[in-house]
């Protein structure tokens, strides 16, 4: 087997960061990353099981890879679908040689030795309780402008629709000393933006008892060299006033909070086992609305959960009006393996789910059009994330996590991960556009 590899990643930022750990480990073991699966001796597929028919999509992708199986290549399935489907993957795709969940990536060097020796069925599926999953000794920082730190792994919430507790295991937190040590290493390596990650990032419980999540957030924000700190994803049950106070008092903490609500109906929230009410959620929103800084708020919503009525949908629509989100990620409900909602009758037809989803998206688009228009004529700091050479535009992001495309009078476009002041000259429902302001 050629010691070259190709990795394809699907899913959330935690999956992307998991792939950074895998890449770093492979490179430490002497493997070279290539950009095309045809050139790779080892093909890895890092999977996500959150969305509808995720496992079917995995097997469809594996079937596409099958054409390469006669060329001496090895195949590995990683991540949540690997943990969920386990050894069934070998049965359905016999050319796959390695199946591993995220908690076992620290054992990847040993698994690679077995793979190189010719073993056909290697698994890393049985260790979702360990805290050693946080070991990031060989992490490859593949994002050029942002570094990730996982501080919470797993979930204990067991929402009725969610597969995460079954694929990621119990909730466990990384020690604050370890987090801060990694944040300092990240700063020393030249990164200025850090994003703290967790399935429920604000459910963080320092094993040493030294820091709350808000205190850890503030401490990371005060690491020399760090200009921006983000965190995702928060759970309303563990969202505290102290988090808002930290954002207000530490300028490097980004003025953006992603707080998934899932539904604006208390009845649906109860059926989802979300453990809070509409009123509870709105109280947390009120804390952010009362902050000294203008905190941008985004959310997740599920449409068409079993038993959702027209009134429940209207409750969600009025929640959009009340909160005035800057962004909503809305999805149609789909049953996931092993979750409690499997036993609920999914009585809402797919066409009706689509209709309800469109109602919310249309309403939210109008809200965002008005919200983004408020930035017209203002000047904001933007971190450069890329370039659109065809349009001679720079692609960046504001502290509020809003995409900003801008032009500059300078003949050379600014470098990725640099910062520019930008005057906003155009607004759209999902982005802003402007011109770089010359430094004084």
Do 118 and 28 have their domain in common? yes
How many Å apart are CA 360 and CA 310, to the nearest integer? 12
Do 158 and 274 have their domain in common? yes
Which range of residues forms the domain containing residue 86? 4-124
**Is residue 341 in some structural domain?**
no
Do 168 and 248 have their domain in common? yes
Phi/psi zone of residue 47: left (φ > 0), alpha (ψ -120 to 50 degrees), beta? Answer: beta
CATH number at residue 106: 3.40.50.12160
Do 92 and 44 have their domain in common? yes
**Is residue 325 in some structural domain?**
no
**Is residue 332 in some structural domain?**
no
pLDDT tens by residue, the chain, 440 residues: 679 999 999 878 888 899 999 999 999 999 999 999 989 999 999 988 877 667 778 888 888 877 887 778 999 999 888 888 889 999 989 999 999 988 888 889 999 999 999 999 999 876 555 555 555 567 889 899 999 999 999 899 999 999 888 888 889 999 999 999 999 999 999 999 999 999 999 999 999 999 999 999 999 999 999 999 999 999 999 999 999 999 999 999 999 999 999 999 999 999 999 999 999 999 999 999 999 999 999 999 999 999 999 999 999 999 999 999 999 999 999 988 889 998 898 889 999 999 999 999 999 999 999 999 999 999 999 999 999 988 889 999 999 999 999 999 988 899 999 999 999 999 999 999 999 998 64
The domain boundary, picked from 100, 124, 148, lies at 124
Do 24 and 154 have their domain in common? no
**Is residue 346 in some structural domain?**
no
Q: pTM of the entire structure?
A: 0.89
CATH number at residue 241: 3.80.30.20
Give the chain's domain count. 3
Closest CA to 24 of 144, 177, 142: 142
Do 224 and 298 have their domain in common? yes
Do 152 and 187 have their domain in common? yes
Do 174 and 83 have their domain in common? no
The domain boundary, picked from 284, 303, 322, lies at 303
**Is residue 310 in some structural domain?**
no
157: which 2 tokens? 């919430």
Do 35 and 157 have their domain in common? no
The domain boundary, picked from 285, 303, 321, lies at 303
CA 123-127-27 angle, 5° bins: 60
Do 117 and 142 have their domain in common? no
**Is residue 194 in some structural domain?**
yes
Do 31 and 137 have their domain in common? no
């Amino acid at each position: 087997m050629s010691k070259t590899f190709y990795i394809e990643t699907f899913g959330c930022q935690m999956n992307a960061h998991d792939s950074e750990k895998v890449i770093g480990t492979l490179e430490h073991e002497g493997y070279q990353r290539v950009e095309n699966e045809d050139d790779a001796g080892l093909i890895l597929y890092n999977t996500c099981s959150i969305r509808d028919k995720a496992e079917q999509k995995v097997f469809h992708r594996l079937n596409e890879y099958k054409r390469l199986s006669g060329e001496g290549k090895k195949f590995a399935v990683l991540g949540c679908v690997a943990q969920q489907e386990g050894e069934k993957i070998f049965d359905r795709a016999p050319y796959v040689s390695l199946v591993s969940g995220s908690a076992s990536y620290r054992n990847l060097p040993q698994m690679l030795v077995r793979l190189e020796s010719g073993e056909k069925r290697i698994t890393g599926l049985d260790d979702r309780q360990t805290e050693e999953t946080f070991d990031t000794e060989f992490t490859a920082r593949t994002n050029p402008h942002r570094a990730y730190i996982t501080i919470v792994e797993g979930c204990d919430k067991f929402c009725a629709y969610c597969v995460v507790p079954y694929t990621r295991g119990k909730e466990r937190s990384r020690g604050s000393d370890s987090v801060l040590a990694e944040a300092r290493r990240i700063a020393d390596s030249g990164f200025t933006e850090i994003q703290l990650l967790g399935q429920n990032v604000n459910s963080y419980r320092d094993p040493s008892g030294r820091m709350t999540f808000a205190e850890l957030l503030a401490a990371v924000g005060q690491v020399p060299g760090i200009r921006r700190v983000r965190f995702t994803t928060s759970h309303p049950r563990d969202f505290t006033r102290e988090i808002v106070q930290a954002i207000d008092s530490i300028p490097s903490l980004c003025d953006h909070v992603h707080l998934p609500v899932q539904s604006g109906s208390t009845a649906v929230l109860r059926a989802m086992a979300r453990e809070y009410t509409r009123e509870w959620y709105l109280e947390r929103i009120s804390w952010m609305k009362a902050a000294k800084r203008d905190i941008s708020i985004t959310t997740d919503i599920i449409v068409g959960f079993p038993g959702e009525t027209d009134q429940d949908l209207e409750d969600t629509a009025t929640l959009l009006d009340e909160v005035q989100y800057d962004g909503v990620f809305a999805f149609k409900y789909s049953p996931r393996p092993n979750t409690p909602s499997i036993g609920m009758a999914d009585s809402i037809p797919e066409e009706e789910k689509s209709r309800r989803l469109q109602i919310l998206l249309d309403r939210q688009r109008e809200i965002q059009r008005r919200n983004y228009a408020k930035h017209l004529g203002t000047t904001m700091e933007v971190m450069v994330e890329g370039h659109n050479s065809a349009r001679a535009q720079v692609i960046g992001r504001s502290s509020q996590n809003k995409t900003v495309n801008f032009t500059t009078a300078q003949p050379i476009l600014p470098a990725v991960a640099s910062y520019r002041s930008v005057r906003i000259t155009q607004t759209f429902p999902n982005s802003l556009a402007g011109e770089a302001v010359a430094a004084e």
